[in-house]
């Protein structure tokens, strides 16, 4: 019985199965020789293997057209191969194009499905998420004109922070002022700024306390007057406690007197340096060796 191209199941597997069954059927009818005998070698030379041969190309092509008859999608596909007159007479050429189409389609469709299902992982940074989106996007074979928007949209839809996603969606597909399409790069910058602000807030929350705590270093223990904040001479006084983050940054002003070294305060300031605007007195600058 003449084999048919199945329209259900895995297209890649269906294509491989159809081609093999079609060649077997043609071989049974004497139109195809899958294992022709090797040509007689020259004296002292090894036998030269011979490629499979189509013994009756016209009949094989007629059988092929009958095999795909009624499958409109497959008929349109074969017609769209745009073969030359000579190529259209070669069964091997048509079968090769058919195989390449379904092999490629399977790979691209699988990668596009993976792309559509991607989500930002817990604890995954914006930069790491950006890298995964771009890497998978290179496997999709989309046109260059739409690639930037495709990556941008996937990046936004996979964000696991609802506040950030809302912020990106609010920016819109087109800029509200210029009416130009918002690029992937612009959205990335918004997301990275948001991430840095969240980190700064978290650090400030950890640094907050009822009063500035200071560790003293030296050979003698702090005196009673030194332990009582704001009393006597030679003690360390904090004139401001850490403030919560604001749009203008975090401003902390400290004053110091005597030979005491505010170790923990210096550590906090260094931690906050990338995110806050810090103001320190000359005494604090000397204490940290600046």
Tell me: do 91 and 62 sit in the same domain: yes
Domain containing 287: what range?
211-223+233-290
Is residue 228 included in any domain, yes or no? no
Tell me: do 186 and 243 sit in the same domain: no
Into how many domains does the chain fold?
3
Is residue 2 included in any domain, yes or no? no
pLDDT, tens digit, 9 for 90 and up, residues 63-79:
999 999 888 888 888 88
Tell me: do 128 and 195 sit in the same domain: yes
Q: pLDDT at residue 220 above 70?
A: no
Q: What is the pLDDT of residue 156?
A: 93
Q: pLDDT above 90 covers what percent of the chain?
A: 30
Is residue 119 included in any domain, yes or no? no
For residue 160, how far is the Cα from the chain centroid?
14
DSSP letter string over 95-137? HHHHHHHHHHHHHHHHHHHHHHH--PPTT--HHHHHHHHHHHH
Is residue 15 included in any domain, yes or no? yes
Report the C-alpha gap between 222 and 193 in whole angstroms: 43
Six-digit token string for 187: 């959205």
pLDDT, tens digit, 9 for 90 and up, residues 169-201:
998 888 888 888 999 999 999 999 999 999 999
> Which residues face 32 on adjacent strands?
54
Q: What is the pTM of this model?
A: 0.39
Rounded alpha-carbon distances, angstroms, from residue 70 to 5, 16, 65, 76, 183: 10, 20, 10, 11, 45
- pLDDT, average across residues 17-38: 90
Report the C-alpha gap between 101 and 77 in whole angstroms: 9
């Amino acid at each position: 019985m003449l084999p048919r191209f199945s329209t259900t199941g895995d297209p890649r597997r269906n294509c491989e199965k159809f081609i093999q069954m079609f060649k077997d059927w043609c071989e049974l009818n004497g139109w195809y020789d899958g294992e022709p005998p090797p040509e007689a070698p020259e004296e002292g030379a090894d036998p030269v293997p011979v490629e499979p041969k189509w013994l009756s190309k016209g009949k094989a092509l007629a059988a092929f057209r009958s095999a795909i008859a009624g499958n409109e999608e497959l008929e349109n596909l074969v017609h769209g191969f745009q073969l030359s007159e000579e190529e259209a007479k070669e069964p091997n050429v048509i079968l090769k194009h058919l195989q390449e189409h379904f092999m490629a389609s399977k790979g691209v469709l699988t990668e596009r499905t993976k792309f559509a299902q991607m989500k930002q992982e817990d604890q995954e940074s914006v930069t790491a998420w950006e890298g995964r989106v771009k890497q998978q996007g290179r496997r999709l074979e989309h046109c260059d004109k739409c690639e930037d928007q495709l990556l941008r949209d996937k990046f936004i839809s996979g964000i696991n922070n609802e506040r950030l996603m809302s912020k990106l969606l609010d920016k819109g597909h087109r800029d509200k002022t210029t009416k130009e399409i918002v690029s992937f790069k612009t959205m990335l910058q918004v997301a990275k700024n948001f991430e840095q602000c969240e980190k700064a807030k978290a650090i400030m929350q950890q640094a907050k306390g009822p009063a500035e705590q200071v560790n003293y270093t030296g050979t003698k223990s702090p005196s009673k007057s030194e332990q009582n904040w704001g009393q006597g001479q030679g003690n360390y006084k904090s004139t401001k406690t850490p403030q919560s983050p604001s749009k203008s940054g975090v401003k902390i002003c400290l004053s110091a007197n005597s030979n005491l070294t505010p170790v923990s305060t210096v550590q906090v300031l260094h931690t906050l340096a990338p995110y806050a605007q810090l103001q320190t007195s000359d005494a604090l600058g000397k204490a940290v060796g600046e």
